[in-house]
Amino acid sequence: MGFPLPSPMRRALDLAAEAAEAGEVPVGAVVTLGDRIVGEGRNAMRAGQDPTAHAEMVAMRAAAAALGTSRLDKCTLWVSLEPCAMCAGAIALARIAELRFAAEDPKGGAVLHGPRLFGQPTCHHRPDVIGGIGEEEAAAQLRTFFTQRR
């Protein structure tokens, strides 16, 4: 039996489940400032007909609006899946201090896989990154979602 998940990751995984129920790829994200959630989101590309409405983008937009700034430099982003190149770029531009994610994404991820954006010399901000928090649950959500659609 494992340890309980930190509550922001628990919330991100719950948001991912909500995304799946709505027919979206199950990804959820939460932005925290200290011990307070300041933004959250889930994938909403289909619902909003917006290809940029990834969970991370939705959560960071909400946090920026709540805090009244585009710089989220004291914030932590919790997300159920390794961010893609678009989201990793936005994380760097927002100056997110810490990135915590659940499942790795060998096909579309851009943090530990693909372009490994934060390791590029042109990336001017690199958050502290820890992956694998709640990985089994996040991976199961994704497997279930895609199995049901095949």
Summarised one tens digit per residue, pLDDT across range 71-126 is: 999 999 999 999 999 999 999 999 999 999 999 999 999 999 999 999 999 999 99
Angle in degrees, CA 27, 110, 71, rounded to 5:
75
pTM: 0.95
Residue positions in the annotated binding site?
54, 84, 87
Residue positions in the annotated binding site for Zn(2+)?
54, 84, 87
Active site residues: 56
- What residues form DSSP beta bridges with 131? 101
Over the stretch 30-42, which tens digit does the pLDDT of each residue have? 999 999 999 999 9
- How far apart CA 124 and CA 111 sit, in angstroms, is 14
Identify the pLDDT of residue 3: 54
